[in-house]
């Protein structure tokens, strides 16, 4: 994606007007007119100051480097760094690279921007992701059952009270039910077909350096006739230190093979990163450290 398109998507997802963005840049001593911002997102001109673009990343709550990287790539004729290979069970540090807009992680970026734009992401850029552990369970019919999530976060600034979570809901399926909340309460919930986004409000307002734990479950049980599941993936719009995904198969229905995979965006080719062992517990897992940006997941083949 070119810089103009990434900036346009980030502005749409933030829910901020160009006037509001101009005001926030001005508060940082970076005067930029509304007309100039409009030219940048329409591709009529490009910023010359890296400091301004870095400030835009913070204001628009996108990963550090997602806009500056595209600008520098255009200036030098470079391309985003691709990830290398890896062994089964654990993905190497830094496997997924930054340099893309969060909307690139989803099949329909406009839908993503529309849904997430209705939620409060003002403190998102001040949250450091320390760890996320997912457990994805399938039923005896090979269909999605339940997703359990535990995430640990640390505030990089004051007055942070919530985090926004986004999950695929499955095309044609009823909206997943958010349950099992611990150490937090639900804020606003927004959904369109195939996408679910919601706020989790912490049990206290965080100051810089404070940590928070949130746990929740999504009931993914599909309506009769829905096809079987053959993958689980998580999309990383921001860096995270530690990620663990466990897929728990039903005791009567194990797949023939299971693999880990990674991808740079929703439409980029996937790269398999090794076959994963399915143990006597009927589960397979993949662990990754220092994930930057992209998609990590497991996929399996039924007999």
Q: Within a domain: residue 84?
A: no
The HSE-up count of residue 262 (CA atoms within 13 Å, CB side) is 27
Could you tell me if 63 and 129 lie in one domain? Answer: no
281 with 159, same domain: the answer is yes
Give me the pLDDT at residue 297, please. Answer: 96
**CATH code of the domain in which 126 resides:** 2.60.40
Per the structure, how many domains does the chain have? 2
Say if residue 229 is in the same domain as residue 281.
Answer: yes
Please provide the size of the chain in residues.
303
Do 135 and 267 reside in the same domain of the chain? yes
Q: Return phi, psi of residue 119, to 5°.
A: -110, 165
Task: Identify the pLDDT of residue 52.
Answer: 86
Residues 263, 269: contact at Cβ < 8 Å?
yes
Residue 83 lies in a domain: no
Asked whether residue 258 is domain-assigned, the answer is yes
Output the six-digit token pair for 152: 């640990």
Residue 274 and residue 147 in one domain: yes
Flag whether 102 is in a domain.
yes
pLDDT value for 80:
34
In a domain, 148, yes or no: yes
Q: For residue 115, give the nearest of 124, 126, 103 by alpha carbon.
A: 103
Report the CATH number at residue 8.
Answer: 1.10.260
**Long-range contact list for 15-22, CB < 8 A, 24+ apart?**
15/117, 15/118, 15/121, 16/59, 16/60, 21/56, 21/59, 21/60
Q: Which two tokens stand for residue 61?
A: 């709550």
b/e burial code for range 22-57 (CB count within 10 A of at least 16 → b): bebbeeeebebeeeebeebbeeeebbeeeebbebbb
Q: Which domain holds residue 107?
A: 90-301
Q: Which of 76, 106, 132 is the last residue of a domain?
A: 76
The whole-number mean pLDDT for each consecutive block of 10 residues of the chain, a chain of 303 residues, reads: 85 90 86 86 82 89 84 49 36 43 88 90 89 96 94 91 89 72 96 91 93 95 70 94 96 93 92 91 94 94 91
Domain boundary among 76, 104, 137: 76
Structure confidence at residue 72 (pLDDT): 62
Provide the whole-model pTM.
0.69
């Amino acid at each position: 994606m070119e810089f103009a398109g990434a900036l346009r998507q980030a502005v749409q997802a933030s829910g901020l007007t160009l006037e509001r963005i101009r005001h926030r840049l001005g508060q940082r001593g970076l005067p930029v007119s509304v007309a100039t911002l409009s030219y940048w997102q329409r591709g009529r001109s490009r910023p010359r100051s890296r400091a301004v673009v870095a400030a835009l990343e913070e204001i628009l709550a996108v990963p550090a480097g997602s806009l500056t990287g595209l600008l520098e790539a255009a200036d030098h004729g470079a391309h985003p760094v691709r990830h290398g290979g890896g062994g089964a069970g654990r993905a190497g540090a830094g496997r997924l690279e930054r340099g893309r807009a969060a909307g690139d992680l989803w099949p329909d970026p406009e839908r993503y921007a529309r849904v997430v734009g209705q939620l409060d992401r003002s403190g998102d850029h001040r949250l450091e992701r320390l760890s996320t552990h997912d457990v994805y369970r399938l039923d005896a019919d090979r269909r999605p059952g339940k997703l359990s999530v535990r995430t640990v976060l640390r505030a990089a600034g004051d007055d942070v009270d919530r985090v926004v979570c986004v999950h695929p809901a499955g095309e044609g399926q009823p909206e997943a039910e958010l349950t099992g909340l611990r150490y937090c309460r639900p804020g606003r919930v927004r959904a369109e077909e195939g996408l679910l986004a919601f706020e989790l409000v912490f049990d206290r307002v965080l100051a810089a350096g404070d940590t928070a734990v949130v746990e929740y479950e999504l009931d993914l049980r599909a309506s009769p006739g829905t096809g079987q599941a053959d993958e689980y993936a998580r999309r990383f719009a921001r860096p995270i230190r530690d990620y663990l995904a466990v897929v728990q198969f039903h005791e009567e229905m194990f797949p023939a093979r299971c693999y880990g995979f990674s991808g740079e965006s929703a439409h980029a080719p996937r790269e398999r990163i090794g076959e994963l062992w399915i143990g006597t517990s009927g589960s397979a897992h993949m662990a990754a450290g220092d994930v930057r940006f992209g998609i990590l997941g497991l996929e399996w083949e039924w007999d």
